[in-house]
Amino acid sequence: MKTETKQFKAEIGRMLDLVVNSLYSKKEIFLRELLSNASDAIDRAKYLGLVDKDILADSPDWKITVSADKEKKLLSISDNGYGMDAEDLENNLGTIASSGTKKFMEAAAAKDGNNLPELIGKFGVGFYAAFMVADKVTVVSKKRGEDEAFAWESDGIGSYTVSDAERDAYGTTITLHLRDGQDEYLDEWRIRDLVKSYSDFIAYPIFFESLSKKEEDKKDDEKKEPESPKPLNTMTALWKRPKKDVKKEEYDEFYKHLTHDFDEPLEVIPFSGEGQVEFKALLFIPKAAGMDLYMPQSKRGLSLYVRNVFIGNDFDLLLPDYLRFVKGVVDSSDLPLNVSREMLQDDQVISKIKSAVTSKILSTLEDMKKKESYDTFFQTFGRVLKEGVHTDYVNADRIKKLLKYPSAQSAAGKTIFLEDYVKKMPQDQKDIYFLCAEKEEDARNAPQLEQAEKHGLDVLFFVDPVDEWLVDSFREFEGKKLVDIARGNISFGSETEQKAEKEANEKASADPKPFLEKVKEQLKDHVADVRVSSRLAESPCCLVASENALSPSMIRMMRAMKQDVPEEKRILEVNATHPLVEKAKGLDGNDFADAVELLFDQALIAEGSPVPNPSRFAKLLTALMMK
């Protein structure tokens, strides 16, 4: 093929500028990224070679070589992995998936430059870190099974070229033309130090060779007996080493190598599965959520090894979906080497590994409950964990004990465990009370709370969209029924107090019955019924749903998702002793109609719902203020 010059997309050019100037706090990270890519290329060749023996016809001795030429200021990273053809070079190095790039750029625009490194790696931009230390990068590659080699070259500014090249062996060589002032990366001691710090656990030997020895040095070397070069890395799989023999820094670096996250993990979970199925696992709970956590089509899961052979990333069959935030590796000796994702669907070994991994993660979270780090975890991943109550019947009770919620009696922004709520319940309280709202602030100001607070009772706030969806699955906790204080008829306090309040309400309802009927007629297009409230203490009115109706927050969320939600009239409850209600009883005609309309609008605003006619509401409120 002739040499083709192509332009980077505008957004990629801007991203390259961010990579070079803002995203990486340490330039030395470029070597870790390129060595990781080389390791991945060998992993891919080994895996595909299990099916197609021709791929490994040359019986490769897998290795990665770092070469330095001080005279020409060139640094090369070479592997004998799978390699790339011209199309691969363009797809992998000339473009990035448009959706990923768009989300990366949106995140970059929204965050401060100092906080951006955590985003690196989630969109495949690690290769571009090379431009931090190089003003030109050349990639020469020959794909296994093919005869032709190709070169990709760019200065990282506006364009790149793809052309024919010469290469005898399969694999890829990335050559960095180092910028002025970056000569340190040509020194063997520096490379050795970086490999030890960042890539010691890579499973293939990493060698160093100098291409710029002086003539007298070369002559001296010729006189000596040739020595077998020693790799710079130990190549020991971290998950196979006893926990006591592994330093925290080693776990941190392996996590960064695995996930391309720049932050250290929140929790490390090394363990061995024994018994019916034997396997080793090294799992991590991240500190921050990836931007793909709530994207259904995103790949997620654990990396799978079989007898030290890398099978693939993102094996979601090893984890339940509600634990999809967990990263890590599983190495099993009980699976065949030619395993495929399709074969794993009904594999009993995978099912047992998944069960053991799930139990271990839940046990770790149970231990974390006593640490301050649990609040960080739950704030980040609690919404995902809650899904398990609905989807994992076997572990639902364990998951419930891991959930935290804000409550009426907890400080703003603080949450409490369900079991702590139950421990604090008065002896005569039989149920767990909760209230659904879109925001914690809305819940704290809800009029439906008033009688519960008057009786000294705490109420949990369900303010995550997933919370209300889980109510039907939840039903009870430790024998206590969950009761929504904004639905149906409800009474608080002891049996004696409830009986007294019921009698008081019946008496209060008898007196204003004509008024209630009149209000109901006035609002017949908006409410199903009007009645005296048993849950209000200070507010004049509120809206409540029937026992099985959707809450207003759920209705608003479904409509925001463009779902067709049938109109469902609710019940207007009034505080019969409130001065405003007493005043409204004495009105008639248009004054009465306006007052009732304002009361209804006030009930909507109090729960966070929009009023039917904002302009009409403003006029009525203005007229009332003028009076």
Domains of the chain with bracketed CATH: 4-213 (3.30.565.10), 239-379 (3.30.230.80), 511-544+567-626 (1.20.120.790)
Token output for 47: 């895996």
Residue 569 — φ and ψ, nearest 5°?
A: -75, 145
The stretches of 176-324 forming alpha helices (DSSP H) are 188-198, 215-223, 248-259
Distance CA 71, CA 224 (A): 24
What is the β-pairing status of strands 570-574 and 527-532? parallel
Extended beta strands in 470-523, E state = 476-477, 480-484
* Burial class of residue 513, CB neighbours in 10 A (0-12, 13-18, 19+): exposed
Q: What is the pLDDT of residue 115?
A: 39
Q: Which residue has the higher pLDDT, 488 or 551?
A: 488
Q: Which of the given ranges, 62-76, 250-264, 550-564, has the highest pLDDT on average?
A: 62-76
Q: What is the pLDDT of residue 114?
A: 42
Token output for 284: 């991590």
What average pLDDT does this structure show over 523-531? 92
Say if residue 213's pLDDT is above 70: no
Q: What is the pLDDT of residue 432?
A: 94
Average pLDDT, the chain: 84
Q: What percent of the chain lies above the pLDDT cut of 90?
A: 46
What average pLDDT does this structure show over 109-118? 43
What average pLDDT does this structure show over 118-130? 56
Q: Which of 336-345, 471-480, 606-615 has the lowest mean pLDDT?
A: 336-345
What average pLDDT does this structure show over 169-188? 96
Q: Judge whether 388 and 399 are in contact, CB under 8 Å.
A: yes
Q: Judge whether 43 and 153 are in contact, CB under 8 Å.
A: no
Q: What is the pLDDT of residue 203?
A: 85
Sorting pLDDT into bands at 50, 70 and 90, what band is 116? very low
Distance CA 174, CA 248 (A): 31
Distance of CA 47 to the CA centre of its chain: 28
Helix (H) or strand (E) holding 544: strand 541-544
State the Cα torsion 488-492-496-501 to the nearest 10°.
Answer: -60
Indicate the pTM of the whole model.
Answer: 0.68
Q: What is the pLDDT of residue 585?
A: 87
Sorting pLDDT into bands at 50, 70 and 90, what band is 607? confident
Q: Which residue has the higher pLDDT, 125 or 34?
A: 34
Q: What is the pLDDT of residue 257?
A: 82
State the Cα torsion 615-617-623-624 to the nearest 10°.
Answer: -160
Report the candidate in 25, 17, 36, 12 with the shortest Cα–Cα distance to residue 260: 36
Q: Which residue has the higher pLDDT, 294 or 44?
A: 44
Q: Judge whether 377 and 267 are in contact, CB under 8 Å.
A: yes
Q: Which residue has the higher pLDDT, 326 or 342?
A: 326
HEC readout, 16-75: HHHHHHHHCCCCCHHHHHHHHHHHHHHHHHHHHHHHCHHHHCCCCCCCEEEEEECCCCEE
Q: What is the pLDDT of residue 564?
A: 73
DSSP code, position 525: T
- pLDDT tens across 24-40, in order? 557 888 898 899 889 88
Q: Which of 310-314, 458-462, 466-470 has the lowest mean pLDDT?
A: 310-314
Q: Judge whether 110 and 131 are in contact, CB under 8 Å.
A: no
Say if residue 20's pLDDT is above 90: no
Q: What is the pLDDT of residue 576?
A: 85
Sorting pLDDT into bands at 50, 70 and 90, what band is 293? confident
- pLDDT tens across 373-389, in order? 999 999 999 999 999 99
Sorting pLDDT into bands at 50, 70 and 90, what band is 157? confident
Say if residue 623's pLDDT is above 60: yes
Q: Which residue has the higher pLDDT, 143 or 565?
A: 143
Task: Give the dihedral sign, CA 251/253/258/259.
Answer: positive
What is the β-pairing status of strands 416-417 and 476-477? unpaired
- pLDDT tens across 475-512, in order? 889 999 999 998 888 888 777 777 777 676 666 656 67
